[in-house]
Amino acid sequence: MTYMLSNQEFEKIRQYLEDLTGQKISDKKIRALGVNPPYHGQPKRLIEVGKYYADLEPEAPSEQVVAIYESKSFCVCTPNRGAGKGLPYFFTRDTVYVVDEMD
């Protein structure tokens, strides 16, 4: 089962990110993002909405990904990072090898 935000929750976070970054954030819904992290020694990984991940940045705690947004870079949001508070995890386009949009 895929974790889903309501359309209202998704839009509220999108607007928060636009205000935070000063950049246009796409309203396209992304299910998963394949990344080759820029951090030394971290393997390629597929980050999926609804799943839990540790070390999205070195030593970051395990958190559930609640949404992924596209802008100049990709914003991976967890309850404590990007979903209404704090900065999201940013992945630049040159580290992303696949984008899987929701149907």
98 bridge partner residues = 34
Mean pLDDT of 14-32: 96
Q: What is the DSSP letter of 101?
A: E
Mean pLDDT (the chain, rounded): 92
Helix (H) or strand (E) holding 7: helix 7-21
Q: Are 10 and 28 in contact (CB under 8 A)?
A: no
- DSSP, collapsed to helix, strand or coil, labels residue 103 as coil
pLDDT tens string 34-89: 999 777 777 899 999 999 999 888 888 999 999 999 999 999 999 999 998 999 99
Burial (Cβ within 10 Å: 0-12, 13-18, ≥19) of residue 14: buried
Minimal CA–CA distance to 13: which of 63, 75, 64, 101?
75
What does the alpha-carbon distance between residue 91 and residue 89 come to, in Å, rounded to a whole number?
Answer: 7
Q: Judge whether 42 and 89 are in contact, CB under 8 Å.
A: no
pTM over 0.75: yes
